[in-house]
Structures are given as structure tokens and as C-alpha cells.
Amino acid sequence: MLIKIPKGWEIPEREATPESVYLNRRQWLQAAGFLGAQGLLAAATESKSPYPAKRNPEFAKGDHPITEEWAATGYNNFYEFDPNNKEAVKDKVGAFVTSPWTIEVTGLVNKKKTLDVEELVRTLPLEERVYRFRCVEAWSMTVPWTGFPMSELIKLCDPKPNAKYVRWTTVNRPDQMPGIKQANWYPWPYFEALRLDEAMNPLAMIVTGLYGKPLPKQNGAPIRVITPWKYGYKSAKSIVKIEFTSGQPETFWHKLQPLEYGFYSNVNPHKPHPRWSQAFDKIIPRMERVPTPMYNGYEKWVGGLYKGDPDKI
């Protein structure tokens, strides 16, 4: 697998131009009458954007430098768009419509309801957290996610006392997502789940943004799950349904390959995948090899969830 490192002249203008210069250009254009009513409206909307959100000091940096934005948004596992080529996903998301977007809340809840994602973004306090992100395939990144604690969403859903698990379902739109037709043997839509106490853990996040901007389509726009102590496939993208259950739900990769992908899927360097070691990860994009820490470095937050039950690692 080859990752392209952009040449100096390929960096986007906002990275090449200091923000003050960029803003001055906008003010200048405005004064010169180049930005009509529409431009002014766009500028007003821009100023109300919740991005970039304030970084949570507890998660201000990972133990490795933040991955370059072009790499984290250009190397994606999103099988609904391309099941074979991670670098092609970003080029296949053009037809994917991510606004408006609603999420159905169902199963063991006091009242079934529909949540509007734009309203969630407007009303919940967004924050940025830098997390390590480790794929089961042994590559890793360090990513600044924007979103809110998953516990806030669970509280809004108001589960009944007998709810013990939360199950996510991803959108299923074969006409906008070419990978669904290309790999029609997969049990679409993608579905994942967590135990309810895992979902309530302060580390679990619902993400709507990346690198201080709304989530790009290839990274799961407009809303996805992030659980940094688990392998990346637990982090369902572009979710449209949240369901609460009393029994442990089936998950997409477990259904396909039960001996390779368990329900818990916590990052564990001592438990090799049947086909490769999990002791090291390779950092995208330059593939430096570093030891993988237990629970991806988050034992302090989540170790207590699995105490005394080594099978659940």
C-alpha cells in the first residue's frame, strides 16, 4: 500500500496563507463590492459555525504527533464506497447526500423518537479531543475529533432500565454508495454495538467534525461513533439508527468472520489476530513501527470495565 506525500506546492491555500492574510482578503473583497448579499450571508453563517470547537485539555495531544489532515482524510475504511481501495474512498463520495440527516431512536427506550443531527450540533456543547486511532489491520493515526460525549446522546435517547446494549446502524444507499453494489455479498447496512456501560464511559464520543471542520464524507459524515480503546471497526460511520437491546447484538464483522472479529474488540497487543500480530502498529502515512499499548493507551479510563474478565479484552 502506498500513501502519496503531497509536494510543497500541493498544500491547500488555507495552510499556505496565514489566516490573518486570508481574512484580510475577504474584508478587502467585501469592501470592493465583490461579495454581494450572498457573500455577506455566507460570512454571517461562517461566524456562527461551532467549528473549530475548543480542545479538551485532558485530550490535548496523543503520544504521537497529529496525523497530517490529507492522510487521515485520504486513507479510509468505508466499504460502502470502496471495499478494496482505501485511497479511492475520498473520490467516490461525491453523490453522497449528508444533509438533512436524522437518526431513528428505537428499541428499549421510554419514547421512540427521531433526532435531527443539525439540531444536535447546534445544541450540544462541541469539544475537540485528540485521540489515538488504531485499526485492527495494525495501522494507526492520531486524530483531532470534534463531537460530544456519547453519554450525552444516550441520555437524550432515554433508555429503559432493562436496556443493556446500544446498537448502531449505518445508512444504506446503494445509489449513492458504489461499494454496496460492488460487494453485494456483505450483510448491508453496516451495524455495530457496545455494552451500555461502555457507551456511557467518558472516553466514548459521538463525532461530527475533524480537524476543526465538519466531518468529511469519507470519514463518516455527518455523524459517527469513536471508541479509541477499541479497534477502528467498532466506530460505525454515518449512523441513521440507534437501538437499545437487553441481549448482546450481532455485529457486522463478527457475523462475517466470527473467529477473527469479536464483540468487544478492545485493542490488545497480547492477543494476535489469527492472521497477524497486534503487538505493533504502523503510523500512517510513513508507517513507522511503534509498540501498541494495552487498550490503545486508554487503560486508565476503560480498564475497569473489564476487570476480572480477561476474555472480554
CB of 31 to ligand MTE, least distance (A): 40
CB of 273 to ligand MTE, least distance (A): 13
Phi, psi of 100 (to 5 degrees): -70, 165
Asked if residue 98 binds ligand MTE (CB under 6 A), the reply is no
* 70, 79, 96, 261: residue in contact with ligand MTE (rule CB under 6 A): 79
By CB under 6 A, residue 76 contacts ligand MTE: yes
Characterize 289-308 residue by residue with b for buried, 16 or more Cβ atoms within 10 angstroms of its Cβ, and e for exposed.
eeebbbbbbbeebbeebbee
State the amino acid at position 121 in one-letter form. Answer: V
* The binder of ligand MTE chosen from 62, 69, 70, 77 (CB under 6 A): 77
Residue 236 binds ligand MTE (CB under 6 A)? yes
Q: Which of 140, 219, 227, 268 is the binder for ligand MTE (CB under 6 A)?
A: 219
Contact flag: residue 292 with ligand MTE (CB under 6 A)? no
Binding segment toward ligand MTE, per CB under 6 A, in 27-35, 102-110, 229-237, 293-301: 229-237
Angstrom CA distances, 181 to 80, 188, 218, 266, 311, stand at 8, 10, 17, 31, 36
Amino acid at residue number 18: P
Please say which residue, 108 or 198, places its beta carbon nearer to ligand MTE.
198
Alpha helices for the chain (secondary structure H): 13-16, 19-31, 37-48, 69-72, 117-123, 150-157, 178-182, 196-199, 252-256, 299-302
Task: Tell me the closest approach of the beta carbon of residue 43 to ligand MTE, in angstroms.
Answer: 30
Q: Is 229 in the site for ligand MTE (CB under 6 A)?
A: no
Residue 162 to residue 157: CA distance in whole angstroms: 14
Measured distance CA(60)–CA(236) in Å, rounded: 24
| Number of residues this chain uses to bind ligand MTE (CB under 6 A) | 16
Q: Which of 101, 145, 211, 233 binds ligand MTE (CB under 6 A)?
A: 233
Q: Do 164 and 215 form a contact (C-beta atoms < 8 A)?
A: no
Are 217 and 285 within 8 A, CB to CB?
no
Residue number of the CB atom closest to ligand MTE:
232
Question: Residues in the site for ligand MTE, rule: CB under 6 A?
Answer: 76-80, 135, 170, 190, 219-220, 232-233, 235-238
